[in-house]
Amino acid sequence: MGNSAGRSDFEWVYTDQPHTQRRKEMLAKYPAIKALMRPDPHLKWTVTGMVLAQLLACWLARGLAWRWLFFWAYAFGGCVNHSLTLAIHDISHNTAFGTSRAACNRWFAIFANLPIGLPYAASFKKYHVDHHRYLGGDGLDVDVPTRFEGWLFCTPARKLLWLVLQPFFYSLRPLCVHPKAVTRMELCNALVQLAADATIYALWGLKPMVYLLASSLLGLGLHPISGHFVAEHYMFLKGHETYSYYGPLNWITFNVGYHMEHHDFPSIPGCNLPLVRKIAPEYYDHLPQHHSWVKVLWDFVFDDSLGPFARVKRVCKLAENRL
């Protein structure tokens, strides 16, 4: 796996994404999969518990020495906040309250956003639709790095820096690649977040706010859980653009590792994705898969064939019913 020359461009393909055809085939063969397209009854309670846990951690952080504050922000808060971004991902597919209660899902995502410290949920929803509809789409899928990132972050040291700065690239890239008008929900998200941050600061001072922001920036940067950013769609093997990971970190990430299954069936909540593989193992067991997110990060940094350019890209026609 890999070559010493490195990559100088994306892997351009002229075929449709594989997931659409797979979905049709699998539903025809296994109609029982449709029954898995229902809300996760536990999601709202799990997320509420995580938000309250971070609120308690804020209260405890008031008296911590700075070095311990950053230690706990990485070791505990980073795990919780990264996991909350993945809960927001699941909720963006209407898995908390179902498609018939879309507004409840949007507002619940804003609630899940509170410990992250910066408004994120509404913007994520707006762009994530395109990631599924136009996977690898040039100028449409903002999950794919920019040409500038591919050009600049091409050595092990620079790729390591890119992983550390991942939260900044994920938040700023959409504004460069595919800017969209600000929505009312994004304004609500920002106002609710600002009010929550101001309340925490007024009640408990600076340290809890630094703890929350450090949890987000460290947890979404160079962190074991962040291996999923690279594992999901970076081309570790030519011709394969989506990969699953079936290891234990799925337990704290709402099964985001079941990524091939997720793109095949975006409306199935994370809790049911293992059942998709169980029902139709012949569609998944033969595919390349990752066994460790930490190894994914290691390989990404030190393998010359991997880097921001190691992504499949395609030119997509815009669908008429844009969301």
When pLDDT is cut at 50, 70 and 90, the band that residue 2 belongs to is very low
Give the pLDDT confidence of 244-257 residue by residue, as tens digits.
999 999 999 999 99
What's the pLDDT score for residue 25?
96
What's the pLDDT score for residue 90?
97
Q: What is the mean pLDDT of residues 183-194?
A: 98
Q: What is the mean pLDDT of residues 278-302?
A: 97
| pTM for the whole structure | 0.94
Domain contains 20: yes
Domain contains 4: no
Domain contains 175: yes
What's the pLDDT score for residue 4?
36
Domain contains 1: no
Residue 264 makes CB contacts below 8 A (sequence gap 6+) with 19, 22, 23, 26, 276, 283
Which H or E run contains 312? strand 312-313
Taking residue 272's Cβ as centre, other Cβ atoms within 10 Å add up to 19
Domain contains 270: yes
End-to-end CA distance of the chain: 39
Give the pLDDT confidence of 275-284 residue by residue, as tens digits.
999 999 999 9
If you write DSSP's letter for every residue of 12-26 in order, what string do you get? E--S--THHHHHHHH
Domain contains 2: no
Percent of the chain with pLDDT over 90: 95
Number of domains in the chain: 1
Domain contains 56: yes
What's the pLDDT score for residue 317?
80
Enumerate the H helices of the chain as residue ranges. Answer: 19-29, 43-61, 66-72, 78-92, 102-113, 121-133, 147-152, 156-164, 166-177, 184-204, 206-219, 227-233, 259-264, 273-279, 293-302
Q: How many Cα atoms sit within 13 Å of 182 on the Cβ side?
A: 7
**Tokens encoding 15:** 């075929």
pLDDT at 52 over 60: yes
Residue 87 makes CB contacts below 8 A (sequence gap 6+) with 43, 46, 47, 50, 112, 254
Give the pLDDT confidence of 197-219 residue by residue, as tens digits.
999 999 999 999 999 999 999 99
**Closest by alpha carbon to 84, among 129, 36, 49?**
49
Domain contains 187: yes
Give the pLDDT confidence of 119-144 residue by residue, as tens digits.
999 999 999 999 999 999 999 999 99
70 neighbors 64 (Cβ within 8 angstroms): no
If you write DSSP's letter for every residue of 102-140 in order, what string do you get? HHHHHHHHHHHHGGGSS--HHHHHHHHHHHHHTTTBTTT
Q: What is the CA radius of gyration of the chain?
A: 19
Taking residue 48's Cβ as centre, other Cβ atoms within 10 Å add up to 13
Alpha-carbon distance 189 to 114, whole Å?
Answer: 9
When pLDDT is cut at 50, 70 and 90, the band that residue 262 belongs to is very high
Q: Is 212 helix (H, G, I), strand (E, B) or coil?
A: helix
What's the pLDDT score for residue 320?
52
Q: Which domain holds residue 47?
A: 11-314
What's the pLDDT score for residue 7?
83
Q: What is the mean pLDDT of residues 61-70?
A: 97
Alpha-carbon distance 88 to 107, whole Å?
Answer: 11
When pLDDT is cut at 50, 70 and 90, the band that residue 323 belongs to is very low
